Amino acid sequence: MEKAKLYLDEDITDLLARVLRTMGYDAVSAHEIKMEGRSDEDQLYYAIKNQRALLTCNVSHFTNLARMCYEKNITHYGIVVTPQLDFKEILRRVTVFLDNIPATDLKDRYIWL
């Protein structure tokens, strides 16, 4: 099973990306690539361009962007949203998610962790 590659927007700590990489996952943070302060659309387009699922806590904005992608027939590689949780719980949810859902199943999907 091919695991999803993740792009963590600036609402998610870059520590999560670093820890995920030490565990063998492919994850990059907006903080690491200097995307802080960019619009949510820019965050999503970066993820699309790099064929990464986007992980965010910004539920309302990315719900609207997922709808926009659907209406404009824009392909994305998954929008994954999570509530603001403590680090260990987000890490747990993300690793369970990555271990159980193949990257191919994420295309054009909006998923709540």
Domain-located, residue 95: yes
For residue 111, name the pLDDT band (cuts at 50, 70, 90): very high
pLDDT tens track for 18-55: 999 999 999 999 999 999 999 999 999 999 999 999 99
pLDDT higher than 90, residue 70 = yes
CA distance 43 to 9: 7
pLDDT higher than 90, residue 60 = no
CA angle 47, 12, 82 (to 5 degrees): 85
Domain-located, residue 71: yes
Q: How many residues does the chain have?
A: 113
In the numeric block, the tokens 């191919």 are attached to 104
For residue 99, name the pLDDT band (cuts at 50, 70, 90): very high
In the numeric block, the tokens 């806590």 are attached to 57
Domain residues for the domain of 81 are 6-112
In the numeric block, the tokens 């993820």 are attached to 47
pLDDT higher than 90, residue 10 = yes
Write the secondary structure of the chain as one string of H (helix), E (strand) and C (coil).
CCCCCEEECCCCCHHHHHHHHHCCCCEEECCCCCCCCCCHHHHHHHHHHCCCEEEECCHHHHHHHHHHHHHCCCCCCCEEECCCCCHHHHHHHHHHHHHHCCHHHCCCCEEEC
Structurally, the chain folds into a number of domains equal to: 1
The CATH number of residue 29's host domain is 3.40.50
Domain-located, residue 73: yes
What global pTM score does this model have? 0.93
Domain-located, residue 21: yes
